């Protein structure tokens, strides 16, 4: 009996020494901190909150953690009818301007106004290159949009590019959702704040 107790006692001491000197770390690992709020420049960056808290171009195209490569804007589109100018890189020499209209939606109150779209000179139906649409509002229309009285789309907000004494200029909602070519270049152009006042 004493021999059995002695063996059991020795076994207990052995296992206690084994786990106290365990070369492998079986302790619970520390939790890894995961950063999830790093902004990414793409179409999903566009705000989807209510239109009454209108974002600015800076908040959309100037991320804190991601640097966008600079781009040199050598050529200028002048529009003296609405008193603004828009700078473009040299690769856009020969661009085309298409004038159309925007129409409001999603409300009993309707409105419309001018839209100017800048097309890359090499865009084709087979290989569409991302264009730059500019929707134009009077100050009264802009205030109505800020109040949520009507929208241009049910799935996104307009993004202000700039304004003068008579008009506000903005990107329409989800303008780059088609995944056309040169989307990154257009983002770089917009990041450089190409729209300026006056013409």
pLDDT tens column, 146-163: 888 888 887 778 999 999
* Cβ(121)–Cβ(129) below 8 Å: no
Residue 8: the pLDDT is 52
| DSSP3 helix / strand / coil % (the chain, rounded to 5) | 25, 25, 50
- What tokens does 15 get? 């296992």
**CB neighbour list of residue 162: distance below 8 Å, 6 or more residues apart:** 57, 84, 168, 169, 193, 195, 196, 197
The CA angle 9-14-16, to the nearest 5 degrees, is: 95
Buried (b) or exposed (e) across 146-172, using 16+ Cβ within 10 A? beeebbbeeebbbbbbbbeeebbbbbb
Q: What is the pLDDT of residues 56-97, one digit of tens each?
A: 443 333 333 356 677 889 899 999 999 999 999 999 999 999
Where residue 48 falls among pLDDT bands split at 50, 70, 90? very low
Asked if 171 and 157 touch (Cβ cutoff 8 Å), the reply is no
């Amino acid at each position: 009996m004493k021999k059995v107790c002695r063996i059991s006692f020795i076994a207990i001491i052995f296992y206690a020494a084994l786990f106290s000197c365990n070369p492998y770390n079986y302790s619970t690992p520390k939790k890894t901190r995961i950063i999830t709020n790093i902004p990414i420049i793409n179409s999903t960056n566009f705000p989807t909150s209510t239109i009454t808290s209108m974002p600015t171009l800076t908040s959309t195209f100037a991320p804190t953690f991601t640097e966008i490569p600079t781009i040199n804007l050598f050529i200028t589109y002048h529009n003296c009818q609405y008193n603004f100018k828009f700078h473009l890189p040299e690769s856009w020499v020969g661009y085309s301007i298409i004038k159309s209209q925007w129409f409001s939606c999603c409300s009993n109150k309707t409105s419309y106004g001018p839209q100017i779209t800048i097309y890359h000179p090499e865009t084709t139906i087979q290989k569409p290159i991302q264009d730059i649409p500019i929707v134009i509002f009077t100050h009264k229309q802009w205030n109505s949009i800020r109040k949520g009285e009507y929208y241009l789309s049910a799935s996104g907000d307009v993004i202000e590019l700039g304004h003068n004494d008579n008009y506000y200029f903005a990107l329409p909602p989800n303008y780059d959702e088609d995944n056309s070519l040169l989307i990154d270049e257009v983002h770089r152009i917009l990041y450089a704040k190409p729209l300026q006042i006056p013409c």
